[in-house]
Amino acid sequence: MATVTPQKITIEPVTRIEGHAKITIRLNEAGKVERAYLHINEFRGFEKFCEGRMAFEMPVITPRICGICPVSHHLAAAKACDDLYGCPPPRPAQLLRELMHMGQVIQSHGMHFFELAGPDLLLGFDADPAIRNVVGLIQANPDLALRAVRLRKFGQEIIHILGGRRIHPIFAVPGGVNKALTRSERDQILAGLDDAIETIQLGLKIFKEWAEANQEDINRFAVFSTGYFGMVKPGNTLELYDGQLRLIDANGQELEYFDGREYLNYIAEHVESWSYLKFPYYKKMGWPAGVYRVGPLGRLNVADRIATPLADAALKEFKALNRGKPVEQTLYYHYARLIEALYAAENVRVLLDDPDILSTDILNTRQEIRGEGVGVIEAPRGTLFHHYWAKPNGQLERVNLIVATGHNNWAMSEAVDSVAKTYITGPEIREGLLNRVEAAVRAYDPCLSCSTHAVGQMPMVIEILDAQGQLRQTLARLHE
Amino acid sequence: MPKVNCGKLWLVCMSESFACSDLPLPSLDIWGKEAFSCSPRLLILGIGNPDRQDDGLAWHLINRLTTYWGYSKVLDIGETLPVNEGLTLCTDLQLRPEMAEDLATYTHVCFVDAHTGALPKEICWQTLQAGFQPSPLSHHLTPQSCLALAEALYGHSPAGFLLSVRGYEFGFSRQLSERTQRLLDSVVNPLLRWLTPFLQQG
């Protein structure tokens, strides 16, 4: 819902499970945008909550952070525990974890493209808001809508088969997984795979057609330079489950290539008074020069190839957009997301065809506690770090989580500011213009992850700004 | 695709009498025999995170119902319990688009959730009309949006109701705040009475 006053526009959705975000657009006397902000009122009390718990509980506890990407937290926690307990999983367990992760990527990316981005792309940013939504999309293209639902269900079904449930799976444990895959379960997943790949390819076709017709919009919608960050395997091959981390600059030059355990040597977090969510950046370049982007766009920019043929061919087309240099256009996050979904679906077949996938050698029970463990995974939205410090008995003394949405915090805010300044140029503010500002955030598919709808229960700060953007007064309250 | 129409009549009755009212819950005489002639099926869908204190109100409420009916196992998040042919219980962290397919197989759906100060009453009943409510920045789906998806995708939207109870504290705990616990206690028996017609089936 948007309210418009002469000098300030506030877009404040009532969110439920993913936390709270607010966009404030400050207009000057002439009605031009002075500055726009994305405020994220996330409360990161979860790390404190975990202290004192036993480390082996973390794969069960941390998915409760959020219902949107529980699998990512589940697997990152298990990986951190592998490291902490000194118990690398056997290969079949790694394959099974990766398979679950692919299910998560397919369902998450599928939902985002068809249900969140789709209405803007297929019906238009300026379409009547009464129909510019997923129901309008269903009415416009019911076959596509049903395909989109099936795609998400396919991803969810992989998670369900492996984890016994679609959310809060109990599957990965320190040293492996607690359930092997049966032949019939493998065949059940394979049965839905061709349809899933077809749907993703259809999505890619739709996006490319849209991009061709909307090149002007793409090239002025939140286009800016940053570094890019993501996981790769040797040969800079796109990797989502386990690999090294690669950071490149805005020109595509490699800045760092490192093991996830060393992340504190490279990443620091900046704090701004107008957002509860911290702003990670590349330490050596400092703030704000060291800002970078993660997620689909970041990952495809740091990767040189993809291990599966259809996605690799799509990556080549993607790379051609900016002649091999990093792709900077925010709206291409949608394109990158679909290419990753295609990779994830193709990779499901690779994993299911691996002879080890049906092995029952799924758990390493050796334990040699190291006192510290780091788990890194490429969640659908970007790189997710879990870092645990524990006593010799495995009781946690300290926990640090850096979530994907945090890495993109600066970029989302910059995108909001950029889009507001580009599209809101006069006193008359149409709904479609505000929708573009919101779409700038949606492109990053943020997950604000506080798992509650406690409006008014978390610290609330109201900032009053003058026409020059100067802070005149701050009001803070803890409860309604 | 399931096509069920009989729930609509009942929805009209509910809308007239009990839109957003406090307890007592809707009187039983509105459950007309005409509606039952086509085997109504009610889903009670509790939404919320039990690890975030009062946000998990619905999970606590649903497990109070299962305990009352003699089920020893706690219904975990994401699990479904068919009590009989006419009544099913389910809890989940949040509403998701693919739920529309399941919703479309019911004649009635009662969403249970916690609310904050945005609603004036501590216990609130609402009849729902299917209609998509966009959430500009996130994946949040409302009950009304879920019903709209069921209608658009599967041709049937069940009669929808929302029972919401005020939450006061949302920390990292599985224990409800005292105030919300009292509200939960007060809503259990009326809800059980309200469900009696469905319990008498099967």
B102 touches chain A (CB under 8 A): no
Q: Please compute the mean of the pLDDT values over residues A360-365 and round it to a whole number.
A: 96
Record: contact A133-B132, CB cut-off 8 A: yes
By the 8 A CB rule, do B190 and B25 touch?
Answer: yes
Nearest in space to A103 (alpha carbons), one of A169, A176, A58, A184: A169
Q: What interface predicted TM-score (ipTM) does this complex get?
A: 0.76
Q: How far is B95 from chain A (nearest CA, A)?
A: 9
pLDDT of residue A289: 96
Record: contact B79-A165, CB cut-off 8 A: yes
Strand order in A396-402's β-sheet?
Answer: A372-379, A382-390, A396-402
Record: contact A15-B77, CB cut-off 8 A: no
CB atoms within 10 A of CB A255: 17
Best A134, A157, A449 member to test B by mutation, with max B CBs in 10 Å, is A134
Q: Which residue in A has a C-alpha nearest to residue B51's C-alpha?
A: A64
B51 touches chain A (CB under 8 A): yes
Q: What is the pLDDT of residues A253-270, one digit of tens each?
A: 999 999 999 999 999 999
Partner residue opposite A456 with nearest CB, options B51, B116, B138: B116
SS3 of chain A: the string is: CEEECCCEEEECCCCCCCCCEEEEEEECCCCCEEEEEEEECCCCCHHHHHCCCEHHHHHHHHHHHCCCCHHHHHHHHHHHHHHHHCCCCCHHHHHHHHHHHHHHHHHHHHHHHHHHHHHHHHHCCCCCCCCCCHHHHHHHCHHHHHHHHHHHHHHHHHHHHHHCCCCCCCCEECCEECCCCCHHHHHHHHHHHHHHHHHHHHHHHHHHHHHHHCHHHHHHCCECCCEEEEEEECCCEECCCCCEEEEECCCCCEEEEECHHHHHHCEEEECCCCCCCCEEEEHHHCCCCCCEECCHHHHHHHCCECCCHHHHHHHHHHHHCCCCCCCCECCHHHHHHHHHHHHHHHHHHHHHHCHHHHCCCCECCCCCCCCEEEEEEEECCEEEEEEEEECCCCEEEEEEEECHHHHCHHHHHHHHHHHHHHHCCCCCCCHHHHHHHHHHHHCCCCCCCCCCCCCCCCCEEEEEECCCCCEEEEEEECCC
Three-class secondary structure of residue B46 per DSSP: strand
Provide, as residue numbers in chain B, all residues whose Cβ is less than 8 Å from the Cβ of A435: 136
Q: What is the pLDDT of residues A107-158, one digit of tens each?
A: 999 988 888 888 888 888 888 877 888 888 888 888 988 899 899 999 999 9
Best B138, B153, B156, B174 member to test A by mutation, with max A CBs in 10 Å, is B138
pLDDT of residue B20: 35
Half-sphere exposure of A154 (CA within 13 A, CB side): 29
Q: How far is B61 from chain A (nearest CA, A)?
A: 17
Q: What is the pLDDT of residues B110-149, one digit of tens each?
A: 999 998 776 778 998 888 889 887 666 666 788 998 999 9
Q: What is the pLDDT of residues A384-437, one digit of tens each?
A: 999 999 999 999 999 998 888 889 999 999 998 999 889 877 666 677 777 888
How many Cβ pairs within 8 Å bridge chains A and B?
Answer: 127
pLDDT of residue A473: 37
Record: contact B138-A167, CB cut-off 8 A: no
Record: contact A116-B76, CB cut-off 8 A: no
Helix (H) or strand (E) holding B44: strand B42-47
Q: Please say whether the dihedral angle defined by the alpha carbons of residues A177, A178, A183 and A188, taken in this order, is positive or negative.
A: negative
Record: contact B140-A116, CB cut-off 8 A: no
Q: How far is B176 from chain A (nearest CA, A)?
A: 14
B26 pLDDT higher than 60: no
pLDDT of residue B195: 86
Provide, as residue numbers in chain B, all residues whose Cβ is less than 8 Å from the Cβ of A453: 55, 114-116
Q: Enter the pTM of the model.
A: 0.85
